[in-house]
Every structure is written in C-alpha cells, then in structure tokens.
C-alpha cells in the first residue's frame, strides 16, 4: 500500500516557477514508477511526467507540452518525488496529481499504469 500527499501548489504569474512535492508512505516507494498528471476543469486527466527505475538507473519522461520546462526528480531516502516547473504558462493551470505504479506498465502515460493517487494540488498561472 502506498499513500501519497502532494504539496507546493499555488498562484504564480506567467513565466514563474513552482516546485511540487509528493511525499509517499510505504516501503515499496523505491520500486514504484512515480508520475505526475494534471487535470484542468472540463478536461480529462493528462500525463505530465514520470520517473522510472530500470536496473540502477532512473529514466524521466515528459509530455511534449512540458518538455524543457518541467523536471521530475525523486529522493528515495525521503520517499519524495518532485516536479520542478519553470516558465509556467496559463495553460499549465490545473490540479496536479501524484501517482505511483507498481505493476511496471509499458504505457506510463496512461492513468491505468498507476494504482495509487494523491489528492491533488492546485496550480494556477495567472497575472
């Protein structure tokens, strides 16, 4: 069982930065694929980024819409995954969700790859 709690959301001006954190409980954290999704009002939940461990190397993947602006990282000693968001745009406004997947899915951009979800944190980009 993995429990996830996001933090770090808020209101930021276009071009600004935020860092989201996701604190996880459970001894399986280091084995999990850790992802971020977001959902704006009236839209479906969309993939943002994921970090996966393969052998001793972590790989990060990003949606095209955030590539070059967002960076995902994890600290297994703290059971925490981060999403550093730079050069934020109004279209980044959404509720951001942290997710954990233990089934080693081949499609990491699909929400079905993740068994555990946080409650979400609101990010608003507006002047």
- Taking a C-beta distance cutoff of 8 angstroms, is the pair 35, 20 a contact? no
Say if residue 90's pLDDT is above 80: yes
Structure-block tokens of residue 31: 């084995």
Q: What pLDDT score was predicted for residue 102?
A: 87
- Round to whole Å and give the CA distance between 115 and 101: 5
Collapsed DSSP state (helix, strand, coil) of residue 111: helix
- For 35-84, what is each residue's pLDDT tens digit? 999 999 999 999 999 999 777 788 999 999 999 999 999 998 899 999 99
CB 93 within 8 A of CB 124: yes
Token pair 């694929």 is found at 33
pLDDT digits (tens, 9 = 90+) for 7-45: 999 999 999 999 999 999 977 777 789 999 999 999 999
Alpha-carbon span 85 to 46, nearest angstrom? 16
């Amino acid at each position: 069982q993995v429990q996830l709690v996001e933090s770090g959301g808020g209101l930021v001006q276009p071009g600004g930065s935020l860092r989201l954190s996701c604190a996880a409980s459970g001894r399986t954290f280091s084995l999990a694929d850790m992802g971020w999704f977001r959902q704006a009002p009236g839209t479906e939940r969309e993939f943002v980024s994921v970090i996966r461990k393969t052998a001793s190397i972590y790989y990060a993947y990003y949606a095209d819409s955030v590539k070059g602006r967002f960076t995902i990282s994890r600290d297994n000693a703290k059971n925490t995954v981060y999403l550093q968001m730079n050069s934020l745009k109004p279209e980044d406004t959404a509720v951001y969700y942290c997710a954990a997947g233990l089934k080693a899915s081949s499609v990491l951009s699909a929400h079905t790859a993740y068994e555990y979800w946080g409650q979400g944190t609101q990010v608003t980009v507006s002047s």
